[in-house]
Structure 1
Amino acid sequence: MIPARYAHLLFSLILSGIMSLLVSGVATFRAAGMAEDFLALWGSSWISSWILAYPSVLIVAPIARRVTNLLVRQPAAQ
């Protein structure tokens, strides 16, 4: 098991992996259609996308969290 202090890194890795898989799949399909080598093209696109997506999520997530906190009404103190 991974220590809890690394949870944000693991979350970012999983999130960026899934999101880059989906987005690269759609982009590859739109560019190449259902070509014979579609899975190879998709895999190649996914890996290169993930390499960029992971550090991007690490940088952007704290900013998105702060903006979300500004836009969400906080519960009243009891």
Structure 2
Amino acid sequence: MFPAKFQAVIFAFIMSGFMAFLMSGILTFINLGWFSGFVVAWLNAYLYAHACAFPLVFVFAPLSRRLTARLIKAPGFSGN
């Protein structure tokens, strides 16, 4: 489908899409409660959230991987 060189961009797009969709729904509900136009308000918030989340995930994913690698013991490391 896509060349491997696009893996990071596609990962960031998909991950940010899931996170923005869920978080915008949760926060729309917390802030406004359930009302007749909830789904439209949620989808509107999602469009803004994904537009922000995509570049942020793309930029911060490498940092997150490095920090995670520092926090996880390597296989076979006894820690003594």
TM-score normalized by structure 2? 0.91
Alignment pair present for 1:33 and 2:33:
yes
Q: What's the offset of the Cα at 1:53?
A: 0.1
Tell me which residue corresponds to 2:65: 65
**Structure 2 residues without counterparts, runs of 5 or longer:** none
Alpha-carbon distance between aligned partners in 2 of 1:34 and 1:75, rounded to the nearest angstrom: 48
AA in 2 matched with 1:4: A
Tell me which residue corresponds to 1:19: 19
- Which whole-Å deviations, capped at 9, do the CAs of 1:21-64 have from their partners, x for residues lacking one? 00000000111111110010000000000000000001110000
Alpha-carbon distance between aligned partners in 2 of 1:24 and 1:44, rounded to the nearest angstrom: 9
TM-score normalized by structure 1? 0.93
Alpha-carbon distance between aligned partners in 2 of 1:76 and 1:40, rounded to the nearest angstrom: 52
**Structure 1 residues without counterparts, runs of 5 or longer:** none
Tell me which residue corresponds to 1:8: 8
Q: What's the offset of the Cα at 1:74?
A: 1.1
How many residues end up aligned between the 2 structures?
A: 77
Identity across the alignment (%): 34
Alpha-carbon distance between aligned partners in 2 of 1:63 and 1:8, rounded to the nearest angstrom: 13
AA in 1 matched with 2:50: W
